[in-house]
C-alpha cells in the first residue's frame, strides 16, 4: 500500500500538530502521521515543529497573537506551554496565505507526545503509524536537548504508551539516527535530506563537512547521496521532493531503501513522483493525494472510523 503521510497531521486542512488535526487526518485516511517533537524545561515531550513558539499560529492567554517568535520551548515548563492557543493562523500572514483552506479550531493546545501516541494506538488500531521527526540543530544546540538525551526522552514515551511497533524516527541530524539505532534498535529510522540553495544539509563537494551527517563524509561514497543515506543504517530516505529524479529513486530501490519525499502539495508534483515510483509522500494535503491515488488505481490507506 502507498505510504501516504499526513504532514503535521494535515496542515493544509486543520491546525498543524494538534490532536484535532491528527484525528481528522486519520479519519480522512493516512498510513502515517508525520509530526515533530520538542522537550519542555521540565522534561515533557511535546509535539511542535518549531523549537520556538511560532507567532503566526500562537496566541497568548488573552487571545493575542505573539508579536514575534516566542521563547524556545526548551525554556518553558509544560504548564506555561499549555497557556498558548495554536488553533488558528494569524489573519493576513504569509503563513495563512499558504493554507487558505485550513479550518480554525480555537482552543487547541500543543499536545504531549504521549497524548498523540495514545490517540494513534487507540483510534488507528495498528493501521496508522507515527513518523516522528526528532528536531535537533547541530548549529544551534542550545535550542533542544542533545541527540542522545532527546532520544532517551522519546524512548520513555514510546515504551510507556506501548507504541514501538508503530513509530519511525526521522531526522536531518544523523546523530539522532545513530542514537536511535543504538538505544531502540527495534525501531525503524529514516534519514532526511535537503539539497536546495541556502538549505543544504548534505553539502556534497563542499570543503567544509556538513554538521548534519553525523560524521559521515560524502567523499567516501563517491559523492552519491543514495550510498551516503544507506550508510546511516536507515531503511528509508526522506529527501526534499525537488531533489529527486527517476534514476536516484532506482538507485535507492536497488540498495533496498524506501523513498518517501517531503513535502508534496501540488498535484503536478504528486503525479510526477508517482511516475517515478516513490514508495510514499509526505503532504499537507492528504485529500488531494488520495484523490490522485484513487484515479491511478493505487491502493490508498483506509479511513479510520469517526467516533
Where do the structural domains in the chain lie, given as residue ranges? 3-296
- Measured on CA atoms in the order 116, 128, 258, 160, is the torsion positive or negative? positive
Supply the pLDDT for residue 70: 87
Other Cβ atoms within 10 Å of 223 Cβ, number: 12
pLDDT string in tens for the chain (307-residue length): 999 999 999 999 999 999 999 999 999 999 999 999 999 999 999 999 999 999 999 999 999 999 999 889 999 999 999 999 999 999 999 999 999 999 999 999 999 999 999 999 999 988 999 999 999 999 999 999 999 999 999 999 999 999 999 999 999 999 999 999 999 999 999 999 999 999 999 999 998 899 999 999 999 999 999 999 999 999 999 999 999 999 999 999 999 999 999 999 999 999 999 999 999 999 999 999 999 999 999 999 999 998 7
Decide if 285 contacts 265 (C-beta within 8 A): yes
Supply the pLDDT for residue 273: 98
Burial class (CB within 10 angstroms; exposed 0-12, middle 13-18, buried 19+) of 182: exposed
Q: Is 7 a catalytic residue?
A: yes
Catalytic residue, chosen from 7, 78, 253, 307, is: 7
Q: Is 49 a catalytic residue?
A: yes
Closest CA to 200 of 186, 210, 208, 187: 210
Cell matching residue 71: 521563547
- Fold classification of 3-296 is TIM Barrel (3.20.20)
- Which residues are within 8 A (CB) of 97 and not within 5 positions of it... i.e. 6 or more apart? none
Residue ranges with strand state E in the chain: 3-7, 32-39, 45-47, 129-134, 167-171, 188-193, 195-196, 199-200, 236-239, 258-259, 280-283
Burial class (CB within 10 angstroms; exposed 0-12, middle 13-18, buried 19+) of 162: exposed
pTM exceeding 0.85 = yes
Cα 159-148-191 angle, rounded to 5 deg: 85
Supply the pLDDT for residue 306: 82
Amino acid at each position: 500500500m502507498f505510504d501516504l503521510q499526513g504532514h503535521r497531521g494535515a496542515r493544509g486542512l486543520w491546525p498543524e500538530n494538534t490532536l484535532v488535526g491528527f484525528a481528522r487526518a486519520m479519519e480522512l485516511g493516512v498510513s502515517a502521521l508525520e509530526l515533530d517533537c520538542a522537550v519542555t524545561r521540565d522534561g515533557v515531550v511535546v509535539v511542535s515543529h518549531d523549537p520556538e513558539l511560532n507567532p503566526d499560529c500562537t496566541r497568548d492567554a488573552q487571545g493575542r497573537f505573539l508579536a514575534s517568535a516566542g521563547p524556545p520551548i526548551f525554556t518553558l515548563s509544560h504548564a506555561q506551554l499549555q497557556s498558548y492557543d495554536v488553533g488558528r493562523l494569524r489573519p493576513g500572514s504569509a503563513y495563512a496565505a499558504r493554507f487558505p483552506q485550513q479550518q480554525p479550531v480555537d482552543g487547541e493546545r500543543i499536545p504531549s507526545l504521549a497524548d498523540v501516541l495514545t490517540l494513534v494506538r487507540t483510534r488507528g488500531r495498528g493501521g496508522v503509524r507515527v513518523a516522528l521527526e526528532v528536531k535537533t540543530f547541530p548549529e544551534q544546540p542550545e535550542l533542544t536537548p542533545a541527540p542522545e538525551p532527546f532520544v532517551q526522552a522519546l524512548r520513555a514515551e514510546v515504551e510507556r504508551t506501548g507504541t514501538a511497533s508503530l513509530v519511525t524516527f526521522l531526522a536531518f541530524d544523523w546523530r539522532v539516527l545513530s542514537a536511535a539505532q543504538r538505544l531502540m534498535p527495534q525501531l525503524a529510522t529514516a534519514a532526511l535530506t535537503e539539497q536546495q540553495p541556502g538549505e543544504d544539509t548534505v553539502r556534497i563537494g563542499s570543503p567544509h563537512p556538513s554538521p548534519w551527517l553525523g560524521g559521515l563524509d560524502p567523499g567516501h561514497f563517491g559523492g552519491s547521496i543514495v550510498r551516503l543515506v544507506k550508510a546511516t543504517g536507515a531503511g528509508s530516505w526522506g529527501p526534499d521532493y525537488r531533489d529527486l529524479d527517476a534514476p536516484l529513486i532506482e538507485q535507492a530501490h536497488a540498495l533496498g531503501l524506501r523513498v518517501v519525499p517531503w513535502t508534496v502539495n501540488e498535484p503536478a508534483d504528486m503525479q510526477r513522483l508517482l511516475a517515478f515510483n516513490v514508495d510514499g509522500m509526505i503532504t499537507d494535503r492528504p485529500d488531494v493525494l488520495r484523490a490522485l491515488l484513487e484515479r491511478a488505481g493505487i491502493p490508498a490507506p483506509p479511513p479510520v472510523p469517526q467516533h
